[in-house]
């Protein structure tokens, strides 16, 4: 086990395990954390997983853990690793099974205080109207040419079909379609799994949350993002569903068979990978882009459904309701991006597994209306505490391959959470706090607030370390779990 004495403190919130800690490390491993978060990370195998990731061929500079780091499989969750496109690898396990699991945040023109009396009605309507997809499919079916279009066009396919607006696409990372998607790289099995799951939420930690802005830290940026104190907002957290899981599985399987061909040795088989420029690597990148696009189409459909339901419930009470997308971010993905390292600009594949892109002001990838301030960074918390809207920084490019945290990060296993917490009790406890919960009782207990780290601390670390800056804090009023 790695212990605190193996780490060098580089800055107040930055720790490093040097590359000579283990003979197979190619670069150092860095962790952004305060003392307590670091101690928590050292309790499970997450730091060892980060070190394993530092052994992958072509990894550059250092591997990184965000303060919400926790144990996963392959790399830790909250992990970032960048591999040189020229002589590095791409690793499906370093993206994860839920490709483009991500989150989107909607702003409304409504004051939360005035909507609070309707929360039970709103949450009932969402729970009955949004398919979770557990045990049954959704009502949008795609196959054949339509499926290929979803995979290659992403959220734009949904907008073309009438589920949203072009403004939604402008406010989505990559405009909701990752370049390089090739539907022929996605197996029939993956497409089979995807044909009735578009517009479904999924289970586990996926959710829809209706919240209220309770604190604004940066008025100027908040105004750019259309956010104000007391505002009603909506969060949607979902991913690429069974299609993405199958793409990950297909390519892990294929790459297990090609490891020896490329002479790659690994400390953990789940880190299986292939050179970026190999047929296996190129096909994975094309298929992963398809799964990412499926996820963006999925969240676009979910949002469309949520907007329709909210509008129906609120119509008798409020005139002129608006539900606009602030932004949509991916937090399980691999992207080709350019960074300057030691004065040289190089292309890398940045693997973000439970980490969010954090582009600073002026970045050309940002929509025109946000470009002067930076990218909205969305950090959802657990169902009982808070969530944050942050903004990307220029310095994150140097420090963390333009990456920051993605959530609170688990401390308790789902198993332990279920042993400690009963769903019904949790629902009652949250109701006393003014939070209306809908969802299967077992799933509720797994996602209890005590299963997560203190999101205020996680966000404090990334803010102080310069990986993103605080803009606004939001608290839940109603949560629907899948």
Q: Token digits for 54?
A: 């530092």
- Subset of 279-338 contacting other proteins (CB under 8 A): none
- Per CB under 8 A, the list member of 14, 38, 44, 157 interacting with other proteins is 44
Nearest to 74 by CA among 86, 58, 91: 91
Closer of 61 and 299 to other proteins (Cβ): 299
351 is catalytic: no
> 10 Å Cβ neighbour count for 227?
22
- Rounded least distance, CB 137 to other proteins, Å: 7
Decide: is 91 part of the binding site for other proteins (CB under 8 A): no
138 in contact with other proteins (CB under 8 A)? no
Closest CA to 141 of 192, 79, 180, 102: 192
Query: Which is nearer to other proteins, 34 or 249 (by Cβ)?
Result: 249
Q: To the nearest whole angstrom, how small is the minimum distance from the Cβ of residue 258 to other proteins?
A: 10
Among 138, 164, 176, 242, binds other proteins (CB under 8 A): 242
Examine residue 362 and tell whether it contacts other proteins (CB under 8 A): no
DSSP code of 268?
A: S
Strand partners, 274: 90
Distances (CA, A) of 260 to 57, 61, 75, 138, 254: 14, 26, 21, 41, 12
Are the CB atoms for 245 and 97 separated by under 8 Å? yes
CA distance 284 to 94: 12
- Among positions 13, 32, 62, 97, the unique one binding other proteins when judged by CB under 8 A: 97
For the segment 62-81, give every residue that binds other proteins (CB under 8 A): 70-74, 77
**In angstroms, rounded to a whole number, what is the distance separating the alpha carbons of residues 283 and 254?**
10
Nearby residues of 450 by Cβ (< 8 Å), 6 or more positions away: 412, 417, 420, 421
Instruction: Answer positive or negative: Cα dihedral of 227, 383, 463, 54.
Output: negative
Per-residue string for binding with other proteins, 162-201, x by CB under 8 A?
---------------------------x--xx--------
252 binds other proteins (CB under 8 A): yes
Contacts with other proteins by CB under 8 A: the residue count is 45
88 belongs to the binding site for other proteins (CB under 8 A): no
CA–CA separation, 349 vs 334, rounded Å? Answer: 6
Determine if 131 is a binding residue for other proteins (CB under 8 A). no
Q: Which one of the listed residues 406, 415, 460, 463 is annotated catalytic?
A: 406
Tokens at 32, concatenated: 């952004």
Q: Does 6 bind other proteins (CB under 8 A)?
A: no
Within 385-444, the residues that bind other proteins by CB under 8 A are: 410-416, 440, 442-443
For other proteins, the closer of residues 242 and 281 by Cβ is 242
Residue 141 as a binder of other proteins (CB under 8 A): the answer is no
The Cα 160–Cα 228 span in angstroms is 31
Residue corresponding to tokens 């073309």: 160
Q: Which of 9, 86, 261, 269 binds other proteins (CB under 8 A)?
A: 269
Note whether 376 and 107 are within 8 A (CB).
no
**Selected binder of other proteins within 135, 263, 316, 320 (CB under 8 A):** 135
State the DSSP H helix or E strand holding residue 395, giving kind and residue range, or none if neither.
Answer: helix 395-400
Catalytic residues: 406
Contacts to other proteins by CB under 8 A: 44, 46, 70-74, 77, 93, 96-98, 134-137, 189, 192-193, 202-204, 242, 245-246, 248-249, 252-253, 256-257, 268-270, 272, 410-416, 440, 442-443
């Amino acid at each position: 086990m790695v212990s605190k004495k193996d780490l060098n403190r580089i800055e107040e919130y930055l720790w490093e395990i040097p590359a000579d800690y283990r003979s197979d490390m190619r670069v150092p491993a860095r962790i952004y954390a305060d003392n307590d978060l670091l101690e928590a990370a050292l309790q499970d195998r997450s730091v060892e997983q980060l070190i394993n990731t530092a052994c992958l061929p072509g990894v550059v500079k250092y591997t990184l853990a965000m303060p919400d780091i926790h144990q996963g499989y392959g790399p830790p969750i909250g992990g970032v690793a960048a591999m040189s496109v020229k002589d590095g690898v791409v690793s499906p396990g370093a993206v994860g099974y839920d490709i483009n699991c991500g989150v989107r945040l909607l702003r409304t023109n409504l004051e939360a205080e005035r909507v609070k009396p309707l929360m039970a009605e709103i949450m009932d309507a969402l729970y009955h109207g949004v398919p979770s997809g557990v045990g049954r499919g959704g009502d949008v079916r795609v196959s054949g040419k339509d499926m290929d279009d979803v995979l290659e066009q992403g959220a734009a396919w949904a907008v073309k079909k009438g589920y949203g607006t072009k403004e939604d696409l402008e406010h989505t990372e990559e405009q909701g379609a990752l370049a390089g998607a090739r539907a022929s790289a996605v197996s029939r099995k993956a497409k089979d799994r995807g044909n009735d799951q578009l517009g479904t939420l999924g289970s586990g930690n996926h959710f829809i949350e209706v919240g209220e802005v309770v604190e604004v830290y940066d008025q100027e940026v908040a105004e750019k993002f259309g956010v104000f104190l007391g505002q009603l907002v909506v969060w949607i957290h979902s991913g690429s569903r069974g299609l993405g899981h199958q793409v990950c599985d297909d390519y892990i399987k294929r790459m297990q068979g090609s490891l020896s061909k490329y002479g790659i040795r690994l400390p953990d088989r789940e880190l299986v990978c292939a050179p970026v420029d190999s047929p296996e690597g190129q096909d994975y990148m094309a298929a992963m882009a398809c799964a990412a696009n499926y996820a963006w189409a999925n969240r676009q459909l979910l949002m469309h459904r949520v907007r329709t339901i909210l509008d129906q419930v609120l119509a008798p009470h409020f005139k002129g309701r608006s539900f606009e997308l602030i932004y949509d971010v991916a937090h399980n993905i691999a992207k080709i991006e350019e960074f300057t390292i030691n004065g040289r600009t190089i292309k890398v594949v940045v693997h973000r597994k439970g980490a969010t892109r954090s582009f600073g002001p002026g970045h050309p990838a940002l929509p025109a209306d946000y470009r002067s301030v930076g990218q909205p960074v969305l950090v959802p918390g657990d169902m009982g505490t808070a969530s944050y809207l942050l903004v990307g920084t220029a310095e994150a490019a140097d420090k963390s391959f333009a990456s920051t945290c993605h959530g609170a990060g688990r401390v308790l296993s789902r198993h332990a959470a279920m042993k400690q917490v009963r769903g019904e009790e949790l629902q009652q406890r949250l109701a006393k706090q003014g939070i209306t919960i809908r969802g299967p009782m077992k799933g509720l207990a797994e996602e209890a607030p005590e299963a997560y780290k203190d999101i205020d601390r996680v966000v404090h670390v990334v803010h102080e370390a310069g990986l993103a800056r605080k803009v606004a804090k939001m608290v839940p009023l109603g949560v629907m779990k899948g």
